A and B are shown apart, each in its own frame.
Chain A
Amino acid sequence: MSQDTPVVFVVDDDISVRESLELLVRCAGWRPEKCASAHEFLDRPRPVVPSCLILDVSLPDLNGLDLQKRIAGDRIDMPIIFITGHGDVPMTVKAMKAGAVEFLTKPFTDDAMLSAIRNAIERSRAALGNAAEMLTLRSRHASLTHREREVMELVVAGLLNKQVGGKLGITEITVKAHRGKMMQKMKADSFAELVKMAGRLGLASEPQG
């Protein structure tokens, strides 16, 4: 396994479950990390590679669903697969609504578990990628000058260059100059792409004009 191998956390207080999952995960080519309690898991460093979490609902220290709530905010890159010995429908619904990838009842088949893990890893990857992208976009946007940012905002809102000039009190030519610089810095290949970027950055406003 390389450094890029996705990590699968296995958090269950029962040794049979924990260790059997560890073997399965390893056999499937991922890197298992087993924890016997929620706090043990929280103490582990966050992985930088795609990861997911196989989580038993009834842990001795912290209820699985509560843990889900806890990490929902800042670990969108670590999807959760719930496992339980109980099979409670409302619990399932809650967990799924809160964004879990899967909810499996013990004993589960290896296929169901592996496909869930695959799903989760993909999501994680996507989320990570997304996060990286966002980081890039933000730093690009931060590198724009004040005027360039203004121009970008107005332009993605649908204003013509002339109108932008009118609005900002500068000539059309100046606008065009700013625009070019801005597109360069943002590394947008097309206007449509710029608009998308703006959307992702949360800059889109009501079209005017």
Chain B
Amino acid sequence: MEPQLDHPAEEIKRLQRCINDLVSVLALPAIWSGGEASQVVRTSLDALLSMLRLDLVYVRWSDPDGGSPIEMVRVAQSQKLPDQPQKIGQVLLSHWLGDDAQQWPPVIRNRIGEIEMSVVPLRLGLQGEMGVIVAGSQRADFPEQTERLLLSVAANQASIGLQEARLLSQQKRVASELDQRVAQRNEELANANDELRREIAERRLVEERLRQEERELKRSEARKAAILDSALDCIVTIDHEGCIMEFNPAAERTFGYRREEVVGRHLADVIIPPSFREQHRRGFARYLATGEARVLGKRIELVAVRADGREFPVEIAIARIPLDGPPSFTGYLRDITERKRSEDELRRSEAYLAEAQKLSLTGSFGWRVSADEHLWSDETFRIFEYDAATRVTVQLILDRVHPQDVLLVRQSIALAAEGRGIDYECRLLMPSGSVKHVHIVGHGTRDKNGGLEYVGAVQDVTERRLSEEALGKVRSELAHVARVTTLGALTASIAHEVNQPLAGIITNASTCLRMLAADPPNVDGARETARRTIRDGNRASDVITRLRALFSKKSAATDSVDLNEATREVLALSLSELQRNRVILQTQLADDLPSVAGDRVQLQQVILNLLLNASEAMSSVDDRPRQLVIRTRLDEADHVRLSVQDVGVGVDPLALDKLFDAFYTTKSKGMGIGLSVSRSIIESHRGRLWVAPNDGPGATFSFSVPRGIEGAVNAEGLGVGRMPAATNADHLTGNV
């Protein structure tokens, strides 16, 4: 329709409006810029709808991404049109316009539902390949020229926009693809990078490790070298052919070769003595062939040879070097010449010791008290008659002890367990019933941890003891015999000495009578006989005098005697005798004991007599320790008393005084001189000697003598005529 020219102002306004709209449409791309296709379409539709006051705008455009076309519709609010794009699309395109875009009319008026509409198809793209916009209005005059212009410009703009959008989208896609690809690539590259980095790191690690290993190796090599060089033992390494690979400085010194001289040579030719080379070769070959080794992994002693040809003993340990490949071996050698010598000497000295122990019948023992471990030498086992493999216990020891000595041995073991020294004799009873006498000494030592180790020796003194006993018996018999024969000899000699002049006297007297009875009486002869009688009588008297002198000792000395000292001396002399009788001695010697005046030797004789009597009184006591107590003390301010107390058979209370009578004895072998003589001695010291039975078993003999100068005996009192030894003769001649 042609516009009316009569309204030019309206026309101008209309045209202005149109130009404004055009400008707006032309400005659309600015809005679209960078936007998506849908945005383009939407804005186009919205712009068209509002600008042209359309009732319907439909668009279909192809998906720039290649999918199915996209439809969109905008419907004016006042219209009651279905707003499903597909429906509208179908109506518009399929029904009204048809498929062929070239055949589309510029406008079509038709009904949609109840509404009559004029629609204008606008091709998007040069050939409509991009899609179509369909603008619809109810107005009959739709589209006017300006509207048509707007529409086509809008459509172009939309096309352009779509195209741009498509391009953009494509670009975007491409870009995004590119981006993706780049990203991918980047990722890949990054991964690869990471990989590389990792690899590098790994490699670095490996390198580092390698370097470390190299350092380690170097260090190890250095250590090995140091070990080899500083080793005191010879270290020789050989390969599978038996050729020397390593020869350390110690080996150089020991064998007398320099390393350079021997490396590469066969071991056998260098250090093995000629006589053993074949054996070595065979063994080596056997090992290589069978894997059977006789010399690996243990210490063995062999003979080696030095550079100068001297052979010497070595201790060698051979190890196979645990690496892959053909075997090589390291040998550690030590020159044991010295050791062998020491071993031989030790063995020899041990043999000597064992022999000496055997010869002397002395065995040694050790006792680790805390662990109750006993260590015995062979001889000790022999003495106790136990097999050398027996495990020794205290009970086993006690089993061999004579029942009467068990108490003593138990006491000694207790002392030993405390580490105290022991030195005593006891008897053993063997299963065969034979008795052995043994002398045991021991003392305690501390080991390095402070533990008690008891060390001692046991000597079989049976023979000695038996011969001592025999000797003792013989001695005592001899003494007895001597005593008897002394007395007998005394009697005999007195008798003999006296009988001679007596016989003379009697014969002369008889002859005298005969002569006087003769016819005539022979008075001269009788006178002669009388003279001779007198002479003979004098002779007899001389005999007595001579005899007395014979039996008297030198005149008694008067000393200041310390009874404690005197007692100790007597004890020292008689200790072995007392010990032999298993007497347990206890001394209670008073301090500050005043001295007595008297003959030291005689007083000691008394003390000895009392000691021996006490010991003999206990000789049959086995159920209690043979305790002997010797005491000294001050007795009533002016006397000194010494007493000897035993636990023996005791004294008969009715016979107390008879004990001191000469020749009274309850001993089967005694003569009874001892106590009477002792009493005489004490009495000559102005003292007294007496006995009293104990509360328990046994008796106590005591003597009391005046102390010091106040009670001093005058020399005469101790002189000839009062001497104890002379009491023998005195008794016999009646002088008591």
Given contacts A16-B535, A20-B536, A23-B511, whether A106 and B500 have CB atoms under 8 Å apart is: yes
Given contacts A20-B532, A23-B525, A23-B529, whether A106 and B511 have CB atoms under 8 Å apart is: no
- Is there contact, CB below 8 Å, between A107 and B532? no
- Is there contact, CB below 8 Å, between A14 and B504? yes
**Minimum CB distance partner of A58 in chain B:** B496
Q: Is A127 among interface residues, defined by CB-CB distance under 8 A?
A: no
- Report the minimal beta-carbon distance from B529 to chain A, rounded to whole angstroms: 6
Within 8 A of A (CB), among B685-735: none
- Report the minimal beta-carbon distance from A201 to chain B, rounded to whole angstroms: 45
- Is there contact, CB below 8 Å, between A86 and B515? no
- Report the minimal beta-carbon distance from A90 to chain B, rounded to whole angstroms: 14
- Is there contact, CB below 8 Å, between A110 and B510? yes
Within 8 A of A (CB), among B66-111: none
A87 to B499, CA, bound (A): 11
Given contacts A20-B532, A23-B532, whether A107 and B511 have CB atoms under 8 Å apart is: no
A105 to B505, CA, bound (A): 14
- Report the minimal beta-carbon distance from A96 to chain B, rounded to whole angstroms: 20
Return the contact of B495 from the options A17, A27, A28, A85 (Cβ within 8 A): A85
Within 8 A of A (CB), among B474-505: 492, 495-497, 499-505
- Is there contact, CB below 8 Å, between B492 and A16? no
A70 to B379, CA, bound (A): 63
Q: Which residues of A contact B499 (CB under 8 A)?
A: 85, 105-107
- Is there contact, CB below 8 Å, between B503 and A16? yes
Within 8 A of A (CB), among B513-552: 514-515, 518, 522, 525, 528-529, 532, 535-536, 539
Classify the secondary structure of B's interface with A.
helix
Given contacts A85-B495, A107-B505, A109-B506, whether A19 and B532 have CB atoms under 8 Å apart is: yes
Q: Is A21 among interface residues, defined by CB-CB distance under 8 A?
A: yes
A14 to B496, CA, bound (A): 11
Given contacts A23-B508, A107-B506, A110-B514, whether A16 and B539 have CB atoms under 8 Å apart is: yes
- Is there contact, CB below 8 Å, between A27 and B522? yes
A39 to B515, CA, bound (A): 32
- Is there contact, CB below 8 Å, between A106 and B502? yes
Q: Which residues of A contact B522 (CB under 8 A)?
A: 27
Q: Which residues of B contact A27 (CB under 8 A)?
A: 511, 514-515, 518, 522, 525
Would you give the 0/1 interface string for A1-25, flagging 1 where the beta carbon is closer than 8 Å to chain B?
Answer: 0000000000000111101110110
Q: Which residues of A contact B515 (CB under 8 A)?
A: 27
- Is there contact, CB below 8 Å, between A16 and B525? no
Given contacts A19-B532, A20-B532, A23-B528, whether A108 and B500 have CB atoms under 8 Å apart is: no
- Is there contact, CB below 8 Å, between A21 and B495? no
- Report the minimal beta-carbon distance from B290 to chain A, rounded to whole angstroms: 98
Q: Which residues of B contact A19 (CB under 8 A)?
A: 504, 532
How many interface residues does A have (CB within 8 Å)? 23
Given contacts A85-B499, A106-B500, whether A16 and B536 have CB atoms under 8 Å apart is: yes
A14 to B504, CA, bound (A): 9
Return the contact of B503 from the options A58, A87, A107 (Cβ within 8 A): A107
Q: Which residues of B contact A155 (CB under 8 A)?
A: none
Q: Which residues of B contact A107 (CB under 8 A)?
A: 499, 502-503, 505-507
Return the contact of B496 from the options A16, A28, A85, A108 (Cβ within 8 A): A85
- Is there contact, CB below 8 Å, between A86 and B495? yes
Within 8 A of B (CB), among A13-69: 14-17, 19-21, 23-24, 27-28, 58
Given contacts A86-B495, A86-B496, whether A20 and B504 have CB atoms under 8 Å apart is: yes
- Report the minimal beta-carbon distance from B526 to chain A, rounded to whole angstroms: 10
- Report the minimal beta-carbon distance from B515 to chain A, rounded to whole angstroms: 6
Q: Is A154 among interface residues, defined by CB-CB distance under 8 A?
A: no
Within 8 A of B (CB), among A83-116: 83, 85-87, 105-110, 113
Q: Which residues of B contact A110 (CB under 8 A)?
A: 506-507, 510-511, 514
**Minimum CB distance partner of A110 in chain B:** B510
A110 to B515, CA, bound (A): 12
- Is there contact, CB below 8 Å, between B503 and A20? yes
- Is there contact, CB below 8 Å, between A24 and B511? yes
Q: Which residues of A contact B495 (CB under 8 A)?
A: 85-87
Residue of B505, B511, B522, B528 ringed by the most chain A CB atoms within 10 A: B511
Q: Which residues of B contact A16 (CB under 8 A)?
A: 500-501, 503-505, 532, 535-536, 539
**Minimum CB distance partner of A88 in chain B:** B492
**Minimum CB distance partner of B501 in chain A:** A16
A23 to B539, CA, bound (A): 18
**Minimum CB distance partner of A20 in chain B:** B507
A85 to B532, CA, bound (A): 19
Q: Which residues of A contact B496 (CB under 8 A)?
A: 58, 85-86
Q: Which residues of B contact A83 (CB under 8 A)?
A: 503
- Report the minimal beta-carbon distance from B392 to chain A, rounded to whole angstroms: 61
Residue of B496, B522, B539 ringed by the most chain A CB atoms within 10 A: B496
Residue of A17, A27, A108 ringed by the most chain B CB atoms within 10 A: A27
A106 to B504, CA, bound (A): 9
Given contacts A27-B525, A86-B496, whether A20 and B511 have CB atoms under 8 Å apart is: yes
- Report the minimal beta-carbon distance from A174 to chain B, rounded to whole angstroms: 66
Q: Which residues of B contact A14 (CB under 8 A)?
A: 500-501, 503-504
Q: Which residues of B contact A15 (CB under 8 A)?
A: 504
- Is there contact, CB below 8 Å, between B504 and A24? no
A15 to B499, CA, bound (A): 12
A87 to B515, CA, bound (A): 29
Q: Which residues of B contact A86 (CB under 8 A)?
A: 492, 495-496
Q: Which residues of B contact A24 (CB under 8 A)?
A: 507, 510-511, 514
- Is there contact, CB below 8 Å, between A17 and B503? yes
- Is there contact, CB below 8 Å, between B532 and A17? no
A105 to B496, CA, bound (A): 10
- Report the minimal beta-carbon distance from B377 to chain A, rounded to whole angstroms: 58
A24 to B506, CA, bound (A): 11
**Minimum CB distance partner of A23 in chain B:** B511
A109 to B506, CA, bound (A): 7
- Is there contact, CB below 8 Å, between B506 and A17? no
A165 to B514, CA, bound (A): 67
Q: Which residues of A contact B508 (CB under 8 A)?
A: 20, 23
Q: Which residues of A contact B535 (CB under 8 A)?
A: 16
Residue of A14, A28, A58 ringed by the most chain B CB atoms within 10 A: A14
A109 to B514, CA, bound (A): 13
A17 to B529, CA, bound (A): 12
A20 to B496, CA, bound (A): 17
- Is there contact, CB below 8 Å, between A108 and B503? yes
A21 to B536, CA, bound (A): 13
**Minimum CB distance partner of B537 in chain A:** A16
Q: Which residues of B contact A106 (CB under 8 A)?
A: 499-500, 502-503
- Report the minimal beta-carbon distance from B706 to chain A, rounded to whole angstroms: 46
A24 to B518, CA, bound (A): 13
Residue of B504, B507, B510, B529 ringed by the most chain A CB atoms within 10 A: B507
A113 to B518, CA, bound (A): 18
- Report the minimal beta-carbon distance from A128 to chain B, rounded to whole angstroms: 27
- Report the minimal beta-carbon distance from A12 to chain B, rounded to whole angstroms: 8
Q: Which residues of A contact B510 (CB under 8 A)?
A: 24, 109-110
Q: Which residues of B contact A108 (CB under 8 A)?
A: 503, 506-507
Q: Which residues of A contact B503 (CB under 8 A)?
A: 14, 16-17, 20, 83, 85, 106-108
A85 to B504, CA, bound (A): 12
**Minimum CB distance partner of B536 in chain A:** A16
**Minimum CB distance partner of B492 in chain A:** A86
A19 to B503, CA, bound (A): 11
Q: Which residues of A contact B497 (CB under 8 A)?
A: 85
4 A-B pairs closest in CB distance: A16-B504, A110-B510, A106-B503, A20-B507
Having A20-B536, A107-B503, one finds 12 other A-B pairs with CB under 8 Å, namely A16-B500, A19-B532, A20-B508, A23-B507, A24-B510, A27-B514, A58-B496, A85-B497, A85-B500, A87-B495, A105-B499, A107-B499
In the complex, 24 of the A-B residue pairs with CB atoms within 8 angstroms, ordered by the A residue number, are A14-B500, A14-B501, A14-B503, A15-B504, A16-B532, A16-B535, A17-B503, A17-B507, A23-B525, A23-B528, A23-B532, A24-B511, A27-B511, A27-B514, A27-B515, A27-B522, A58-B496, A85-B499, A85-B500, A85-B503, A107-B499, A110-B506, A110-B510, A113-B507
